[in-house]
Amino acid sequence: MSNADIYHEMIVDYSRNPVNYGKIEDHDVTFHDSNPLCGDSIDIDLKIADNKVTDIKFHGKGCAICMACSSVLTEITKGKNLEEVRKIEKNDILSELGLEHLQAVRIKCALLSLKVLKSALYTYLADHLDDSQDIDKLKEDAASLY
């Protein structure tokens, strides 16, 4: 795969017109993280009801890969229950955009929003559940993403 091939139509479109971009003022949980190497920075707001993600929005600054993956992630997440969200894996995002073979230095761009989502989820669970094992597992998940 040549470098320019990564930037197929879908990626470029998503980066120009990100989906679910913005803020949820009355969110139930919000989380921010950045990539210290490149400065990409993502915030995710979640609205949660009946153990389900009823709304999700993201905002921040990032490259086309980061923006496209964030858009896809929010699309995948919306409407899922928390257990399903927890099970979202990196390949769910990468395969959606044909980025399975993305080079190592760009993987962090692709997965930053997934890390933020998982971190938001455990922040929420920490406030609403008292099963600390669950939270530790989630933290592990988030940390092992890349």
Tell me the window of 11-19, 69-77, 86-94, 127-135 that interacts with other proteins (CB under 8 A).
11-19
Residue 49 backbone dihedrals phi, psi, to 5 degrees: -145, 140
Residue nearer to other proteins on the CB measure, 46 or 63: 63
State whether the Cα torsion 9-90-36-40 is positive or negative: positive
d(CA 80, CA 91): 17
Which CB sits closer to other proteins, 6 or 46?
A: 6
Near other proteins by CB under 8 A, which window of 4-12, 46-54, 78-86, 125-133?
4-12
Tokens coding 141: 């998940």
Single residue of 18, 29, 40, 124 touching other proteins by CB under 8 A: 40
User: For the window 19-38, what string marks contact with other proteins as x by the rule CB under 8 A?
Assistant: ------------------xx
By CB under 8 A, is residue 66 in contact with other proteins?
Answer: yes
Q: Is 33 helix (H, G, I), strand (E, B) or coil?
A: strand
x/- binding map, residues 93-122, to other proteins, per CB under 8 A? -------------x--x-------------
**Please, where are the H alpha helices in the chain?**
9-16, 64-77, 82-86, 90-96, 104-128, 132-143
Phi, psi of 63 (to 5 degrees): -75, 180
Q: How far is the CB of 35 from other proteins (least distance, A)?
A: 10
Alpha carbons 14 and 46: distance in angstroms, whole number: 20
Judged by the rule CB under 8 A, the positions of this chain that interact with other proteins are 2-4, 6-7, 12, 15-16, 37-41, 61-67, 106, 109
